[in-house]
Amino acid sequence: MSQIGSFTLLLALALSGYCFVAGLLALLREGPSSARLSETARRAGIATFAVVFLAALVLVVAAFQNDFSIAYIFHHSNRDLPAPYKFATLWSGQEGSLLFWSLLLAAYGLVLRLRYKTDPRLFAYASVIIAAVQVFFLLLLNFAAHPFAVMQGSLPADGNGLNPLLQYPEMVIHPPMLYLGYVGFTVPFAFALAALVMRYPGEKWIHITRRWTMVTWGFLTCGIFLGAHWAYSVLGWGGYWGWDPVENASLMPWLTGTAFLHSVMMQEKRGMLKTWNMWLIFSTFMLSIFGTFLTRSGVVSSVHAFAQSSIGDWFVAFLALIFAVCVFFYVKNRSHLRSEHKLESLVSRESSFLFNNLLFVVACFTVLWGTLFPVLSEWVQGNKVTVGPPFFNRVNIPVALLLLLLTSVGPLLAWRRTSIESLKRNFLWPAIGAVAVGILLLVLGMKPWKEASYFYSLMTVMLSVLVGLTVISEFVRGGRVIARHTGQNLLASMGYLAHRNTRRYGGYIVHFGVIVIMIGFAGAAFNQDKEQEMGFGDRMTIGSYTLVCQSYTQDDNPNYSSEWAVMNVWKHGKQIGTLYPERRFYKASQQTSTMPRIRSTAAEDLYLVYEGLNQDTGRPIIKAHLNPLVMWIWVGVWIMIAGTLLALVPNSVPVRVPAPVPMHAEPVGAGD
Amino acid sequence: MPNLWGQGTKVNPGSGCPMSLLKRVFQIGVLMAGVLLFAGAGDDARFNDLGHRLMCACGCRQILLECNHVGCGYSDRMRAELVAAVDRGDNDDLTLQSFVQKYGPTVLAAPTKTGFDRVAWIAPYVALILGLGLVGFIVRAWRSRPLLRPAELPASVQGAELDHFREQARRETEI
């Protein structure tokens, strides 16, 4: 099995190497022979996918066959591991996850190479760039992190098993989603670099890559929030985001990718920010590679990181090479990136995008800075420091609030110029609504003067309401105009409106999802927790809940043994359910893992953790968290996904008005 | 519980308002600062605040009050030490310093505001200010670009050129 795997990896390297070299030569040469060479390169790229897929399949089959002669399978699987987790073995360790990276890149490359007729020359350049990235990962797999390395000495009877924290259903989806996001940014990067290298005329390359970028961004968004949900559901500390370096590594390309999705509109519509966009997508790709480097090099300590290894040097060299190539072609062809238009007014969509991009990039810098500061500190002062949640929260929350403010104002601004009168007219009611909600919260007992976190929470809710109302008003105003002309009802008109410009209205729905998530985050200011040893019939009160320990017991199966408590949950004198917080001991890996149990409502989550047995009394220790509004975060993510999907749907053909009709319609969208 | 919305973060009132409004905002700010300093300074609140400014020293990379390992060799002991320090009435600096001396500088959950550590706090704001400067520069450069004078404009626009302008108008109005 290991020999087949090793052979396929070598073959994949040869094929992608051929795709790169032949593709490059074909682009440098002229004439019919160059077209034939280019076609062979394209086919080699397609074949690369088949061969890498085969390699990944061999590894998965080896996991299912318990082939512990392969060191990777021995370290990350065992006989009693349930089937879905055996499948997840592919991305559970360093070598396998690099193979998975390579597989996804080959899959993206396959789609790109099959769709080459859209613009053969641009696609040929992009294919060569993707092949270059593929060669790097296959070099790593063949010479630095071989997934088919064999065990030395006698064959072990069983494997070490999968990390217990990874034995959770979401862990079967979270890494693929995240990787689809990371790897996917290679495609817009390849197109951007290709457009720069060949001085591609116009903005067509942006139209071509728009869907790629949005799909990639959507995957990364899903991956990040699946990770947050996994952390919340499995790690048992009651939180979903800990500003761990590996979490930060996924957030950084998301931030620059989000900035790119906004600023690229300026290039499409106004021919501006060409240099900025180019560097934004270069940076996003480099941050994706940097994230992979952070996870694997051991340069920063993280609960997520793979084992320390020497492959960090490979990534540093690769990053340096990418940067050098980008700088070289930028310097060579920068005249191609001149802006076509001027900024006519500060009160315009253009300037709102400028500030939006500034804030996203500053947020990204802050995350990068905080992640790397311990390394810098050790280098300068000789001792490491911790840069944890207090730092990131204090620096990033004001930036997030400013971004929310811009999210509310941005859609009300027109391209080129917006009159202050129009802005006032469109902004007045949403602003009144936001202030009214703020006052209502104060009346209901929120005390923003008591703690800064309460103040931020109040501001977040108010700004979120502001954004929500501007989004709704955009739909309603546009819908009314359509309704007036088509005679449809308002709801149908809004549906038609969204279908007519899916990108814009899909974007608004994404914004709506973001504010729902932000309200969920704001709830964290009011979290409560309590820890207590619980004997039979003991009670614990947290918030409006009373927990009664009905019983506690133990269980055993081939994969793990477990201890768990039966906790009756009472509210307002009525039993509303039973929760079973559990603690597992995985036999193969000799590791323990908590399985928190959560009762989730729109208002709050009751989150119970079985912390263990008090050895003296033999009674379990239960920790209860009361986390307000957490469900809003997960609902917000679904709304964001819906918005992204809508934005991917092609626009319907707009109704053509044959002759100008005198009318006094209110402005659609960005106003007058 | 990790508090994404921050522990002990400072309030930054907005700026750019008319004078009277600015005064009012300043007064409210002073009042809020006073309330933040003197209100809620009970032992529980101090324990909670300090406990969220310290990391568990067991290597789990969790905030001290969030470390959920029963039998963790550090967190229970560190919590007891924190309770003792709060009960003794040690001030925040003294309490944190005693933890640093015992467990090393990595026990603090965020860099201090002294020496080189201060750079950690300053850099993001410097980046923001530099970014604002850069945006200002770009805006100025874009705004100062010369407009086409009327004489340079084509007398009439037809055919492909007209289609081009129509397409531009369609893109910019998003209709």
**DSSP string for A631-662:** HHHHHHHHHHHHHHHHHHSPPPPPPPPSS---
Confidence of residue A415 (pLDDT cuts 50, 70, 90): confident
| Nearest CB to A358 within list B8, B104, B131 | B131
**How far is Cα A188 from Cα A279, in angstroms, rounded to an integer?**
12
- Residue A72 to residues A62, A94, A99, A542: CA-CA distances in angstroms? 10, 9, 12, 46
Chain B residues with beta carbon closer than 8 angstroms to that of A242: 2, 61-62
Query: Is pLDDT above 80 for A300?
Result: no
pLDDT at A364 over 60: yes
Smallest CA-to-CA distance from A236 within A627, A601, A498 is with: A627
Closest-CA residue to A158 (of A556, A558, A555, A557)? A558
Alpha-carbon distance A294 to A280, whole Å?
20
User: A612: closest CA among B152, B105, B76?
Assistant: B76
Mean pLDDT score of chain A: 87
For residues B31-52, average pLDDT: 64
User: What is each CA distance from A69 to A75, A77, A147, B77, in whole angstroms?
Assistant: 11, 12, 12, 44
Q: Of A73, A186, A87, which Cα lies nearest the Cα of A137?
A: A186
Instruction: Tell whether B4 is within 8 A of chain A (Cβ).
Output: yes
Residue A260 has pLDDT above 60, yes or no: yes
Judge: A594–B123 Cβ closer than 8 Å, yes or no: no
CA–CA dist A123, A113 (Å, integer)? 7
How do residues A570-590 score in pLDDT, each as one tens digit? 998 899 999 999 988 888 777
Report pLDDT for B63: 86
Q: Which of A239, A522, A670 sits opposite B2 (nearest CB)?
A: A239
- pLDDT single digits (tens) B139-153: 887 777 665 444 445
What's the per-residue H, E or C state across A126-188? HHHHHHHHHHHHHHHHHHCCCCCCECCCCCCCCCCCCCHHHCCHHHHHHHHHHHHHHHHCHHH
pLDDT of A145: 86
pLDDT at A592: 81
Tell me which of A14-23, A494-503, A601-610 is least confident.
A494-503
Which residue shows structure tokens 């809003």? A632
For residue range A222-256, list pLDDT tens digits in order: 999 999 998 898 888 888 998 988 889 999 999 99
Residue A232: what residue type? Y
Q: What is the DSSP secondary structure assignment for residue A232, as one 8-state letter?
A: I
CATH class of domain segment(s) B40-110: mainly alpha
CA-CA distance, A276 to A273, in Å (whole number)? 5
CA A266, CA A359: separation in Å to the nearest integer?
A: 16
Is it the case that residue A20 has pLDDT exceeding 90? yes
Q: One-letter amino acid identity for A476?
A: V
* pLDDT at site A396: 92
Tens of pLDDT, residues A437-456: 999 999 988 888 888 889 99
Examine the predicted complex and report whether its ipTM is higher than 0.85.
no
Q: Residue A499: helix, strand or coil by DSSP? A: helix
pLDDT digits (tens, 9 = 90+) for A205-217: 888 888 889 999 9
* Chains A–B, number of C-beta pairs less than 8 Å apart: 204
Rounded to an integer, what distance in angstroms lies between the CA atom of residue B102 and that of residue B96? 10
What is the distance between the alpha carbons of residues A190 and A195, in angstroms, rounded to a whole number?
Answer: 8
**Mean pLDDT (whole number) for A552-560:** 85
Q: Is the pLDDT of residue B155 over 80?
A: no
- Give the nearest chain B residue to A414 (CA atoms): B173
Q: Where in chain B is the domain with CATH 1.10.8?
A: 40-110
Query: What is the pTM (predicted TM-score) of this model?
Result: 0.85
Longest dimension (CA), chain A: 88
Q: What angle do CA A461, A466, A468 make, to 5 degrees?
A: 90
A60-97: per-residue pLDDT in tens? 999 999 888 888 999 888 888 888 888 888 888 888 98
Q: Which residues of B touch A395 (CB under 8 A)?
A: 121, 124
pLDDT reported for residue B37? 43
Polymer length of chain A: 672
Chain B contact set for A416 (CB, 8 A): 172
Q: Does B31 touch chain A (CB under 8 A)?
A: yes
Encode A338-397 in three state secondary structure: CCCCCCCCCCCHHHHHHHHHHHHHHHHHHHHHHHHHHHHHHHHHCCCCCCCHHHHHHHHH
Give A640 or A119, the one with higher predicted confidence.
A640
Cβ atoms within 10 Å, residue A110: 19
B124-134: average pLDDT: 92
Chain B partners of A625 at a C-beta cutoff of 8 Å? 1
Which residue, among A237, A366, A482, would best test binding to B if mutated, counting the most B CBs under 10 Å from its CB?
Answer: A237
Q: Give chain B positions within 8 Å (CB) of A351.
A: 139
Residue A345: CB atoms within 10 Å: 15
The one-letter amino acid at A597: R
Task: Measure the CA–CA gap between A125 and A120, rounded to whole angstroms.
Answer: 9
Q: Is the pLDDT of residue A667 over 70?
A: no
Q: Letter for the amino acid at A576?
A: I
pLDDT of residue A373: 92
Distance, CA of A108 to CA of A119 (rounded, Å): 17
